Amino acid sequence: MRIFIFFIIGLISSHSIGQSLFHNNGSSLSERWLIQNDSTKLFKITPYKPVYILFANYTTAINNLPSSDNPLNRVATPTEFLDTELKFQLSFKSRAIKNLFGDKVGGDLWIGYTQSSRWQLYSANISRPFRETNYEPELMLVFHTPYQLFGFNAVLSGIGINHESNGRSNPFSRSWNRVVLQFGWERPSWSIVLRPWWRIPEDRIEDNNPDIQDYVGRTELLTVFSKGKHDVSILAKHSLRGGRKNRGSVRLDYAFQLLDNLQIQAQIFHGYGENLIDYNHKQTTFGLGISLIQWQ
């Protein structure tokens, strides 16, 4: 438990660090992507995806025996994990180049990084292992595209390269690369981000998860509502296929401000692909903890 205590101390310390790193970066979509702010220095760390820790994240179906359509990635021996674990996520982005195509056309080049972990902290009998950690670096080219749609103001359009993997060897290795489009709209208290993607094909023998897009999806839609001390977000993903391939997921997050950036966080997930090792595993999870950063 000493590891857990040090982890909590580190998290509390990160509250003050997060205040200095992310202070005055705003909460709207346009503020987060510096659409109307040319004074921010390049390579300054800014918020991206939520930063949180769920002290208890319960699943209705823990994945003790991960599988894949690739025989090299089928686990032969099950591990008896507990159905409650600790989950946390870190995420940031930074603008590397401003107005890549000149002042008239614009185009900002962003670097992003997200890391999320599922820690079997309460499984003392198996030495409290990290069940899964996902690493997600991104390179994004973002343009300001001002127009109106159904009462929403368009904020950005973009295209990027996304790599996501769990950094493990076979049979546990999972990874994929995508070309991702991004479109964002906002109005007071609301923001919507649509992200369709195309998976970059891999050699069948080397593909850890050949059918991942039929489970995790080919697009996602993020809807965020922020009012006062309350933040609510829904992230929905879908395979864009029918029949037996009609799959996806939905995640609901609620956060309530306690002190400055510190919020209490509740999360519900249902579907496939809660993380990479569970990409083809269906489950429902319920998590409770605290957060420092929410969606834009």
Q: Is 163 among the catalytic positions?
A: yes
pLDDT of residue 15: 47
Taken in order 275, 65, 167, 2, the sign of the CA dihedral is positive
Q: Would the annotation count 173 as a binding residue? A: yes
Catalytic annotation present for 23: no
Q: Is residue 123 part of an annotated ligand binding site? A: no
Phi, psi of 11 (to 5 degrees): -65, -45
Residues in the chain with pLDDT < 50?
A: 13-20, 23-25
The domain segmentation of the chain, as residue ranges, is: 2-293
**For position 32, what pLDDT does the model report?**
87
Tokens standing for 150? 């159904």
pLDDT score for 3: 52
Is position 247 annotated in a ligand binding site?
A: no
Would you state the pLDDT for residue 296?
Answer: 55
Structure confidence at residue 103 (pLDDT): 87
- 88 in Cβ contact with 115 (< 8 Å): no
Q: 296, 239, 244, 243: which is closest to 273 by C-alpha?
A: 239
Catalytic position from the list 14, 67, 94, 163:
163
- Give the active site residue among 67, 157, 165, 270: 165
How many Å from the N-terminal Cα to the C-terminal Cα in the chain?
Answer: 35
CB of 174 within 8 A of CB of 165? yes
- Determine the Cα–Cα distance for residues 23 and 46; give it in Å rounded to an integer: 9
Q: Which residue has the tokens 């891999």?
A: 202
CATH class as words, domain 2-293: mainly beta
What was the pLDDT predicted at 294? 81
Whole-structure pTM value:
0.91
Torsion of CA 22, 45, 9, 133, to 10 degrees: 130
Residue 261 — φ and ψ, nearest 5°? -80, -10
Task: Give the bridge partners for 109, in sequence order.
Answer: 97, 141
